[in-house]
Amino acid sequence: MNPKNSKNSRRSFIKKASIASAAVGTSPFILSASQGERLFLTTPKYKNSFTANDQINLGLIGSGIQGIYDTQAALSVDGVNLVAACDLYQGRLERAKELWGDTTFVTRDYRKLLERNDIDAVIVATPDHWHKKITVDALKAGKHVYCEKPMVQKWEEGQEIITAQKNSGKICQVGSQGMASLANEKARQLYHEGAIGELVLLDFYNDRYSAEGAWQYPIPPDQNPDTVDFDTFLGNAPKVPYDPVRFFRWRNYKDYGTGVAGDLFVHAFSSLHYILDSMGPVGAFATGGLRYWKDGRDVPDVSITLYDFPKTETHTAFNAAFRINFIAGSGGGSGFKLIGTEGEMELGWNSVTVRRSKLEMNPSAYSMVAYTEATQNKIKDGFSDSNAQSRKSALKTGTTTWESPQDYKGSHHDHFYNFFTAIRQNGGVVQDPTFGLRAAGAALLANESYYQKKPVSWDPVGMKML
């Protein structure tokens, strides 16, 4: 929200909020009783029939956990067909044939997949340290690219992808799938209508309490130097002897991954930047440590990072607190909450909740206990005159939750639907490489600060460290 127009925005919001609408999914915020109100968002309309010329043939590079989920979401879009899969572990190539048929072309060499003329687009779902290299190679080979988040392992790599995409003329979309959720769209609308006033704080956290949640993924019993191409996996990372733990649990090592920042923070930044029309923070300070999962990993399992956002045309200056705990004895859970001067907005994968409150300006008995009764009455009268508020205005508080309907296909489906629609229509995507670098760069500030043990500064416009 533009700080210069905040009062006008709030007046507009209150006016709109007084109007009931049957079109609940796209209506402005509706004032609620204190007990809360639950509404359904509108299901998107999809085009479900395509000609043979619209058929998109897909190749998967990195057939691991996320690669499989990405492909399943991609294939839920009509007119998409998987023709090839690449991975460095033989068992995953066999799994690809189980999932998508014996005719699926499989290879350990992604370059062979890029050479195929029958592939229009590729999913890059490899470890983070391979994202830049493969994405650039795919764009130069004339393929459209869906690159998993974070777009890059190091912020310095981002400009090469931006340039390659522009030179190729192909679509490149970054895969923070929550970006395309109905909740994100509604949150963006509500924020710009002034639903929470002026933003002062983002509170983001993710608590986990399981080995799998801490990236302790199972290692297959048939792993060995013959079934795993470990040397290729290392790529430009330091050379080390064959180690299946590093291969199958690569997120635990900064040589190949980006820790909690690249796995989790980048999702939050993608949504935050989209909702606010923000370019990102100007600085960060991170702390944390390895508190429990001392299994050889060199990234923290507890992380706290504070970010500073500057005042811009779309938001006031505010702070953001990011907290991750991979040994949360209280159990698992996560939250994403935008806190403003007039309320708060909490986002889930499939819902958004707005809670509007009245700021109490009148003094209570606590602060007036030291004054005489006569003085207390004069103070009360003065506050009543200066903060007079009509009953109609006072009732503009409460809680409303918008939820995705049961027939909603989900944000993962929608993110791929948008990607394929852009390919078919020669259009654009929201999460292009520039957007992807701003989200990744902001997230990776946490790593820069943590390992340097000091605050770090970032230029969100130029997308570079200072």
For residue 21, what pLDDT is reported?
35
Q: Which residue has the tokens 């499939």?
A: 350
Q: Distances from the Cα of 335 to the Cαs of 265, 309, 328, in angstroms?
A: 12, 20, 14
Q: DSSP 3-state assignment of 401? A: strand
Q: Are 288 and 450 in contact (CB under 8 A)?
A: yes
Q: Which residue has the tokens 């997949």?
A: 113
DSSP state of 431: S
For residue 146, what pLDDT is reported?
98
For residue 18, what pLDDT is reported?
40
pLDDT tens digits along 377-422: 999 888 766 655 544 444 468 899 999 999 999 999 999 999 999 9
For residue 72, give the nearest of 416, 406, 419, 424 by alpha carbon: 416
For residue 44, what pLDDT is reported?
86
For residue 194, give the nearest of 362, 363, 2, 407 by alpha carbon: 2
For residue 86, give the nearest of 119, 44, 51 by alpha carbon: 119
Domains belonging to the chain, first-starting first, are 1-357+398-466 (3.40.50.720), 359-396 (no CATH)
For residue 389, what pLDDT is reported?
52
pLDDT in tens, the chain (466 residues): 555 455 555 555 554 544 333 333 444 444 444 557 889 999 888 887 777 788 999 999 999 999 999 999 999 999 999 999 999 999 999 999 999 999 999 999 999 999 999 999 999 999 999 999 999 999 999 999 999 999 999 999 999 999 999 999 999 999 998 889 999 999 999 999 999 999 999 999 999 999 999 999 999 999 999 999 999 999 999 999 999 999 999 999 999 999 999 999 999 999 999 999 999 999 999 999 999 999 999 999 999 999 999 999 999 999 999 999 999 999 989 999 999 999 999 999 899 999 998 888 888 999 999 999 999 999 988 876 665 554 444 446 889 999 999 999 999 999 999 999 999 999 999 999 999 999 999 999 999 999 999 999 999 999 999 9
Give the Cα separation of 413 and 441 in Å (integer): 26
Helix (H) and strand (E) counts for the chain? 16, 17
